[in-house]
Chains A and B, each alone.
Chain A
Amino acid sequence: MADRGADEPSSRTGSPDGESRVSEDRWSLHQRLAIRELIDTEVSYLHMLQLCALDIRSRLKQLPQGDLDVLFSNIDDIIKVNSRFLQDLQGTDAMEEKQVQLIGNLFLEFQEELERVYKVYCANYDQALLLVESYRREPELQREIQAIIEAVVPQAGPSGLSFLLVIPLQRITKYPLLLQKILENTLPDASAYSVLQRATSALQDVNTNINEYKRRKEVASKYTKVEQLTLRERLARINTHTLSKKTTRLSQLLKQEAGLVLRTEDKEFDDLEERFHWVSLCVTELKNNVAAYLDNLEAFLRFRPQQYDLDMPAGPVGQYCNLARDLQLQAFPEFKRRLEDLVGQPLSSLAKALAGPQNLIKKRLDKLLDFERLEEKLLEEGSVTYEEEEARHTYQALNSLLVAELPQFNQLAVQWLGQILGTFMALQRDLAKQVLQRAESSLAQLPHHHLSEPAFRKLVEDTLGQTGHQLRSFQENFEKVLTPPTVQPLLPGAERQVQALLTKYGPGKLYQVTSNTSGSKTLDLSLPRGQIVALLQNKDTKGNSSRWLVDTGGHRGYVPAGKLEPYQIVPREEKLRVQAGPHEDSRHPTPEPTPALVASVPAGTQVVAMYPFVARNSHEVSLQAGQPVTVLEAPDKKGNPEWSLVEVAGRRGYVPSSFLARAPSPAPWGWSLPS
């Protein structure tokens, strides 16, 4: 370069050649200067970044970590990228001729990375500024911060933090300008020119993209929140502006429906939206179904049949009770807990995440209607107002945001669903393993554990059959504790009544009521237990043989046959004397009242008369108590079980069957106990 400089004066004097060389030199000088500026400013930029990130940030101890993250965002990433960039940039110095080209290539190389790190920082910058503002409102804090900054970076001035934080923004926007300057001072036919050109436009693109990214983020954060508004708040929001917005959209929609206006068909977006819709459906359904499953599990765990061990704490019953208790206290609650934590909870989070995209999709549709209307207006009038332009941009931002991110969302959601389902299956397997371990150890202690399942089932079936029989026999035994075929004591004061009935009807017709009857139909009698009645008819007028007509001595009516038992009289000495009349040899002791059944005594047997009996007509024969009697005809032959034809003391005649008893002793009463 020094040579060229020395040459200059000589070339100034003359020819166009010289002049062009002069301008060439001047260009190259400016180029060099521009390059120098690029590199030098990069050096100081990086230095400043490092001061911020290292010195200042570490000294701002009074601020919480969350604040520091917001303020400084991803400055570390920026430093990393720019350090490498600077290194390579400084490396081009040695290349002399090719430097410009190398610089161009370098920028192209770094384009993507620069965009990636700077867009994050830029998008976050507004929030950082808000924080800085909030600090400014606290004078004490503000002074402290200012002091720290001034100690490290004296040139920061009174605006301290905001001055420092804006530096990366300034830098990234400066790159295109710096490149432009170099470009201006490069000959169009130089080999480096096209590269440089591309680099310049590349950096301009970077800036455009960063802005677009920032706008998308703003739009997203504006519309993703589900606002919980009360009715009052919603009403308060309605004003002419919102109303007109909504009516305009509605009319646009109607126009579309009516076919007056073309709907913007966006197949790509529609497909995306459809898939998102299915994903939402899947997530919501699964969440609800899992919740229902957990509810049922909880209900299941509420019942504890194992608390009833039927007083058999040992053996299989005890085994079962222990097993069930174990399962209920450990295995199942653990399963439930894991299910809630690893399946239920993630599903809830996933379901919540659906809200953002759902809102944005809705908003996009609204904005689309606006957009379409404005497109019409643009066509008709050729221009739109500033606000309308904004509205168009909002729609475009929303649309591009959704198109960019919905596919990712869908994919992540489906992947996560897959993971969750995998966990669900694993939990089922683990539960089964837990239960099986415990149940198998219980099984090993059972008496028949060695049997195969089919063999065991057969065994159980057979056993239950047998024990079923046994149960039935128990039941029968208990039922046999019947109303005894015995004389029930008379109700007090009933003796005279009984005598009256006896005289009127004869002993065979007397029955005793075994349990209280209560009549429901007409002519039914309500009689207490123990009442003596005489049988008139053993069926009612309709032929129903379980309803008997009886005489109580006072009333006549019906009682259930099942509640009547034949009545055995206990004879009394005085009455005997009165009745017996001439046959007065009843000095022997009162006959033993034997509570025998009214059993039919077979013909030909020798029996003993239990009670004295006075024959009232020629067909009957009188008896004395204790007399031996031969039964000639068994009662049931003639169809009248109450009278037997007997021979006694040479005479023949009928006597009441109930007055007879088998000799020598009455049949033992009671029932055989089952073996």
Chain B
Amino acid sequence: MSWIPFKIGQPKKQIVPKTVERDFEREYGKLQQLEEQTRKLQKDLKKSTDADLAMSKSAVKISLDLLSNPLCEQDQDFLNMVTALDTAMKRMDAFNQEKVNQIQKTVVEPLKKFGSVFPSLNMAVKRREQALQDYRRLQAKVEKYEEKEKTGPVLAKLHQAREELRPVRDDFEAKNKQLLDEMPRFYNSRLDYFQPSFESLIRAQVVYYSEMHKIFGDLTQQLDQPGHPDEQRERENEAKLSELRALSIVADD
């Protein structure tokens, strides 16, 4: 923040107290981190929902392809099963889209809005910085004249320099104060701002998975009776494979 090449040079006096500077950097630092987090969160949410949609689409494809197989025409049981599955998948896809829309509206949009404040903040901080530079420069100038032999022209110049310095200093002080006030307030506003979004995020999951549980619960009632535990399903798979392998026409390897 302080390596600007001046012709006049740096002021000897520390014009901004260390504590003030530290406070400022701390508050601004927190906000910079928050900016980055909101940006990353937004990005990850987008990617996550895109992957979610892709999953749903590929689930629909499973049942769609099954339905278009001619086996369905020959085998009534098969047709019933596949039709029921297809209906379920399509409904789930619709619910998924709704879930994604809700998340878009209540989480992603607010994130964007929140993020759009940061450029203004960053500009404001820059302007404070510029003011600080000007302040420093003029301060150094005043000090230069103060050190010189007190002749008439020097005194006049000194007076002039002090006059120039005053508004600039006031300007900086004002900017500094304003930012020191506003930054923590903005930082804390995130609490009230984002609570609803995250509540909404959780709720969206509950709504979607309730539907999913109901739909597939009904489906399995109808078509997967009796529902066996995993070990038994594995055994059933092994059994079917053995039966197939027992046929001569199936190669054994």
Interface residue ranges, A against B (CB under 8 Å): 216-217, 220-221, 224-226, 275, 278-279, 281-282, 285-286, 289-290, 292-293, 296-297, 299-300, 302-305, 307-312, 315-317, 319-320, 323, 338, 341-342, 345-346, 349-350, 352-353, 355-357, 359-360, 401-402, 405-406, 408-409, 412-423, 425-426, 428-429, 431-433, 435-436, 439-440, 442-443, 446-448, 453, 456-457, 459-460, 463-464, 467-468, 470-471, 474-475, 477-479, 481-484, 486-490, 492, 570, 572-574, 590, 593, 595, 669-671, 673
Q: In the complex, are the beta carbons of B248 and A459 less than 8 A apart?
A: no
Q: Which of A417, A463, A475 contacts B196 (CB 8 A)?
A: A463
Q: In the complex, are the beta carbons of A460 and B199 less than 8 A apart?
A: yes
CB distance from A353 to the nearest CB of B (A): 5
Residue of B nearest to A418 (CB): B81
Residue of A nearest to B38 (CB): A310
Query: A360: which B residues are within 8 A, CB to CB?
Result: 249
Q: In the complex, are the beta carbons of A316 and B202 less than 8 A apart?
A: yes
Q: In the complex, are the beta carbons of B195 and A226 less than 8 A apart?
A: no
Q: In the complex, are the beta carbons of B230 and A338 less than 8 A apart?
A: yes
Q: How far is the CA of A673 from the CA of B65 in the complex (A)?
A: 63
CB distance from A512 to the nearest CB of B (A): 12
Q: Which of B8, B116, B168, B233 contacts A488 (CB 8 A)?
A: B168
A-B contact pairs, 19 of them (CB 8 A): A282-B69, A293-B59, A303-B47, A310-B38, A323-B205, A401-B249, A415-B240, A421-B82, A432-B210, A433-B213, A436-B210, A471-B117, A474-B189, A481-B179, A486-B168, A489-B137, A489-B138, A490-B164, A572-B156
Interface check B71, CB cutoff 8 A: yes
**Known A282-B71, A342-B233: A425·B219 in contact at CB below 8 Å:** yes
Q: In the complex, are the beta carbons of A292 and B58 less than 8 A apart?
A: yes
Query: B47: which A residues are within 8 A, CB to CB?
Result: 303
CB distance from B73 to the nearest CB of A (A): 9
User: Chain B, 32-56, contact with A by CB distance < 8 Å: what is the 0/1 string?
Assistant: 0110011011001101100110110
Interface check B91, CB cutoff 8 A: no
Residue of B nearest to A361 (CB): B249
Size of the B side of the interface (Cβ < 8 Å), in residues, is 115
Q: How far is the CA of A463 from the CA of B120 in the complex (A)?
A: 23
**Known A226-B251, A296-B58, A300-B51: A460·B240 in contact at CB below 8 Å:** no
Q: In the complex, are the beta carbons of B245 and A353 less than 8 A apart?
A: yes
**Known A310-B41, A356-B249, A409-B250: A289·B65 in contact at CB below 8 Å:** yes
Interface check B75, CB cutoff 8 A: yes
Q: How far is the CA of A542 from the CA of B237 in the complex (A)?
A: 83
Query: A289: which B residues are within 8 A, CB to CB?
Result: 58, 61-62, 65
CB distance from B46 to the nearest CB of A (A): 9
Query: 7 more A-B contacts (CB under 8 A) besides A357-B250, A421-B82?
Result: A303-B47, A353-B244, A401-B249, A429-B212, A447-B199, A464-B109, A479-B123
Q: In the complex, are the beta carbons of A296 and B250 less than 8 A apart?
A: no
Q: How far is the CA of A464 from the CA of B193 in the complex (A)?
A: 7
CB distance from B151 to the nearest CB of A (A): 14
How many A-B pairs fall under 8 Å by CB? Answer: 324
Interface check B7, CB cutoff 8 A: yes
Q: Which of A303, A320, A338, A432 contacts B202 (CB 8 A)?
A: A320
- The interface centre, meaning the residue of A317, A349, A350, A467 with most chain B CB atoms within 10 A of its CB, is A467
Q: In the complex, are the beta carbons of B237 and A425 less than 8 A apart?
A: no
Name the 6 nearest CB pairs between A and B, nearest first: A422-B224, A429-B216, A224-B251, A432-B213, A356-B251, A300-B51
Q: How far is the CA of A203 from the CA of B65 in the complex (A)?
A: 51
Residues from 121 to 164 in B contacting A, C-beta threshold 8 Å: 121, 123-124, 127-128, 131, 134, 137-138, 156, 159-160, 163-164
Query: B45: which A residues are within 8 A, CB to CB?
Result: 305
Q: Which of B198, B205, B234 contacts A341 (CB 8 A)?
A: B234
Q: How far is the CA of A386 from the CA of B138 in the complex (A)?
A: 116
The B interface, classified by DSSP as helix, strand, loop or mixed, is helix
Q: How far is the CA of A342 from the CA of B224 in the complex (A)?
A: 14
Q: In the complex, are the beta carbons of B55 and A429 less than 8 A apart?
A: no
Query: B113: which A residues are within 8 A, CB to CB?
Result: 468, 471
Q: Which of A317, A359, A470, A481 contacts B127 (CB 8 A)?
A: A481
Query: A487: which B residues are within 8 A, CB to CB?
Result: 164, 167-168
Query: A484: which B residues are within 8 A, CB to CB?
Result: 131, 167, 171, 174
Q: How far is the CA of A429 from the CA of B214 in the complex (A)?
A: 8
**Known A409-B249, A426-B220: A320·B127 in contact at CB below 8 Å:** no
Q: In the complex, are the beta carbons of A323 and B171 less than 8 A apart?
A: no
Q: In the complex, are the beta carbons of B203 and A456 less than 8 A apart?
A: yes
Q: Which of B81, B164, B233 contacts A489 (CB 8 A)?
A: B164
Residue of B nearest to A302 (CB): B51
CB distance from B141 to the nearest CB of A (A): 8
Query: A350: which B residues are within 8 A, CB to CB?
Result: 241, 244
Q: How far is the CA of A416 from the CA of B238 in the complex (A)?
A: 10
Residue of B nearest to A431 (CB): B212
CB distance from A438 to the nearest CB of B (A): 9
Query: A421: which B residues are within 8 A, CB to CB?
Result: 66, 81-82, 85, 223
- The interface centre, meaning the residue of A275, A278, A459, A483 with most chain B CB atoms within 10 A of its CB, is A278
Residue of A nearest to B77 (CB): A418
Q: How far is the CA of A316 from the CA of B202 in the complex (A)?
A: 8
Residue of B nearest to A320 (CB): B198
CB distance from B225 to the nearest CB of A (A): 8
Q: In the complex, are the beta carbons of B156 and A574 less than 8 A apart?
A: yes
Q: In the complex, are the beta carbons of B203 and A477 less than 8 A apart?
A: no
Interface check B23, CB cutoff 8 A: no
CB distance from B45 to the nearest CB of A (A): 5
Q: In the complex, are the beta carbons of B224 and A426 less than 8 A apart?
A: yes
**Known A310-B190, A456-B203: A422·B195 in contact at CB below 8 Å:** no
Q: How far is the CA of A670 from the CA of B11 in the complex (A)?
A: 26
Residue of A nearest to B122 (CB): A478
Q: Which of B58, B171, B209, B236 contacts A436 (CB 8 A)?
A: B209
Q: Which of B179, B192, B202, B245 contacts A323 (CB 8 A)?
A: B202
Interface check B175, CB cutoff 8 A: yes
Q: Which of A217, A309, A355, A590 contacts B248 (CB 8 A)?
A: A217
Q: In the complex, are the beta carbons of A303 and B217 less than 8 A apart?
A: no
Residue of A nearest to B168 (CB): A489
Q: How far is the CA of A304 from the CA of B230 in the complex (A)?
A: 29
Q: How far is the CA of A307 from the CA of B175 in the complex (A)?
A: 35
Residue of B nearest to A492 (CB): B7
CB distance from B139 to the nearest CB of A (A): 11
CB distance from B47 to the nearest CB of A (A): 5
Residues from 73 to 127 in B contacting A, C-beta threshold 8 Å: 74-75, 77-78, 81-82, 85, 88, 102, 106, 109-110, 113-114, 116-117, 120-121, 123-124, 127
Residue of B nearest to A219 (CB): B248
CB distance from B197 to the nearest CB of A (A): 8
Interface check B25, CB cutoff 8 A: no
Q: In the complex, are the beta carbons of A349 and B66 less than 8 A apart?
A: no
Query: A319: which B residues are within 8 A, CB to CB?
Result: 198, 202
**Known A436-B206, A574-B156: A478·B124 in contact at CB below 8 Å:** yes
Q: In the complex, are the beta carbons of B249 and A412 less than 8 A apart?
A: no
